[in-house]
Amino acid sequence: QVQLVESGGGLVQAGGSLRLSCAASGSIFSGFVMGWYRQAPGKQRELVADITSGGRTNYADSVKGRFTISRDNAKNTVYLQMNSLKPEDTAVYLCNGRWVWGQGTQVTVSS
């Protein structure tokens, strides 16, 4: 029933790192694009990064140079490596594929 499951969130100090994982069903993962989004309190959901089936990546300007999206096709899993985290990165991070959303994982960055 659950088609996307995110994990890896937590509490980290500014400057630290986290790696998020999104385990997807095969039907979802086989879509053209998988993406990571985030939503902070009082803010709209925004695209953080996405990756095509061919491995082409796209990033929000706010995370370029700090975050890296990748995929493991054998595991039907998408990753988001987050380095040099800032307090403004605090949000619920959600995985998306073929119009389906995961429940999200909380990332909290303290100053």
Q: Give the mean pLDDT of the chain.
A: 96
The reported pLDDT for the residue numbered 2 is 82
53-83 tens-digit pLDDT: 999 999 999 999 999 999 999 999 999 999 9
User: How many CB atoms neighbour CB 40 within 10 A?
Assistant: 14
The phi and psi torsions of 107 (rounded to 5 degrees) equal -120, 125
Q: Which residue is listed with tokens 């694009």?
A: 33
Q: What is d(CA 65, CA 105) in angstroms, rounded to the nearest whole number? A: 22
At residue 23, does pLDDT exceed 90? yes
24-60 tens-digit pLDDT: 999 999 999 999 999 999 999 999 999 999 999 999 9
The reported pLDDT for the residue numbered 25 is 94
106: confidence class by pLDDT, cuts 50, 70, 90: very high
User: How far from the centroid of its chain's Cα atoms is residue 64's Cα?
Assistant: 13
Whole-number percent of the chain with pLDDT over 70: 99
1: confidence class by pLDDT, cuts 50, 70, 90: low
Strands (E), the chain: 4-7, 10-13, 18-24, 33-39, 46-52, 57-59, 67-72, 77-82, 91-97, 100-101, 105-110
Span 15-31, mean pLDDT? 96
